[in-house]
């Protein structure tokens, strides 16, 4: 009798231990708006995305070796959503792809590398500074220590895994050409013999042009002040998109960002 009960329990538990498979479909898009119009404080430094052990979502051979399968377009289910984005003046789809994976944990599932949109590598170095106009310590143009490489409009990774529930983890960056203010010089100048507030307007040069920017000043005991002079330079500005979201299979989920968005659907394969 005990052996019979044991066999029955094992038989009941087999389906729960069976490997589950999911079809994952993703759309990533950007909003067609000026980032300066968004009231956010964006860091200028390029994000350090950890791409160790990441696999390109376009590398079908490596994906297959890791147990993932790229799905053909005939299996995609979010075509209507993609077409609505593509036909709307306010959005620009950057990526639409789908794959099949198992129910592996976070440590078991690979990061899927996404690169899409324009490659700015011909015009910018990997630190975001424009090529051929990098300033050295003597304010002379120098590019000897700059590194070149791919600088895609969209870059980063997405990972879908199971940890009791379905989760999506994103670490992406959207890059847009823009400008940044760079400190050029700090100098001491006599402070005015007055109790009136100090307002400084400095004339700075940016890429051969002249611009007026307010200079920041610190006053010490009414004797001197520090004037900081800035220049405006072109820069490939990064906008990070780092999120983690719990999901339900079969539902369409939307991950929001002021400048972009992600639509994902995870469907269990019967």
Closest CA to 98 of 174, 22, 171, 165: 22
Q: How many CB atoms lie within 10 A of CB 238?
A: 20
Q: Are 248 and 212 in contact (CB under 8 A)?
A: no
C-alpha 104/C-alpha 68 separation (Å) is 11
Residue 180, pLDDT score: 86
Residue 77, pLDDT score: 97
> What sign results for the dihedral spanned by CA atoms 177, 183, 185, 189?
positive
pTM of the predicted model as reported, rounded to 2 decimal places: 0.78
Q: Are 19 and 102 in contact (CB under 8 A)?
A: yes
Three-state DSSP at 54 gives strand
Return the exposure string of 68-101: e unless at least 16 CB atoms fall within 10 Å of the residue's CB, then b: bebbeeeebebeebbeebeeeeebebbbbbbbbb
Closest CA to 135 of 111, 127, 45: 127
Residue 135, pLDDT score: 53
Backbone angles phi, psi at 221, to 5 degrees: 55, 25
Q: In the structure encoding, which two tokens stand for residue 248, read together?
A: 């339900």
Q: In the structure encoding, which two tokens stand for residue 105, read together?
A: 């944990």
H or E stretch covering 61: helix 60-65
Residue 218, pLDDT score: 55
Burial status of residue 255 (CB atoms within 10 A of its CB: 0-12, 13-18, 19 or more): buried
Tell me the β-bridge partners of 237.
176
Q: In the structure encoding, which two tokens stand for residue 236, read together?
A: 């490939």
Q: Are 33 and 237 in contact (CB under 8 A)?
A: no
Average pLDDT per consecutive 10 residues, the chain (270 residues; last block may be shorter): 52 56 98 88 89 93 94 96 97 97 94 96 94 59 76 97 95 94 79 54 46 52 72 92 95 96 96
């Amino acid at each position: 009798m005990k052996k019979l009960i044991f066999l029955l329990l094992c038989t009941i538990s087999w389906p729960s231990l069976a490997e589950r498979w999911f079809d994952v479909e993703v759309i990533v898009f950007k909003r067609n708006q000026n980032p300066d119009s968004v009231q956010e404080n964006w860091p200028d430094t390029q994000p350090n995305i950890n791409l160790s052990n990441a696999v390109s979502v376009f590398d079908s051979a490596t994906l297959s070796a890791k147990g993932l399968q790229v799905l053909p377009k005939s299996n995609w289910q979010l075509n209507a959503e993609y077409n609505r984005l593509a036909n709307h003046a306010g959005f620009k789809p950057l990526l639409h792809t789908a794959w099949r994976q198992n129910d592996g944990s976070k440590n078991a599932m690979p990061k899927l590398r996404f690169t899409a949109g324009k490659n700015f590598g011909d015009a910018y170095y990997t630190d975001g500074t424009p090529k051929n106009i990098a300033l050295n310590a003597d304010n002379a143009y120098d590019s000897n220590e700059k590194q070149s490489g791919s600088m895609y409009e969209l870059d980063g990774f997405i990972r879908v895994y199971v940890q009791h529930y379905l989760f999506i983890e994103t670490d992406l960056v959207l890059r847009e050409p823009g400008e940044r203010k760079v400190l050029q010089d700090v100098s001491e100048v006599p402070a005015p013999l007055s109790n009136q507030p100090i307002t400084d307007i400095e004339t700075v040069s940016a890429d051969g042009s002249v611009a007026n920017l307010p200079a920041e000043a610190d006053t010490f005991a009414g004797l001197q002040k520090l004037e900081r002079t800035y220049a405006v330079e072109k820069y490939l500005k990064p906008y990070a998109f780092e999120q983690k979201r719990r999901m339900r299979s079969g539902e369409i989920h939307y991950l929001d960002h002021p400048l972009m968005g992600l639509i994902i659907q995870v469907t269990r394969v019967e």
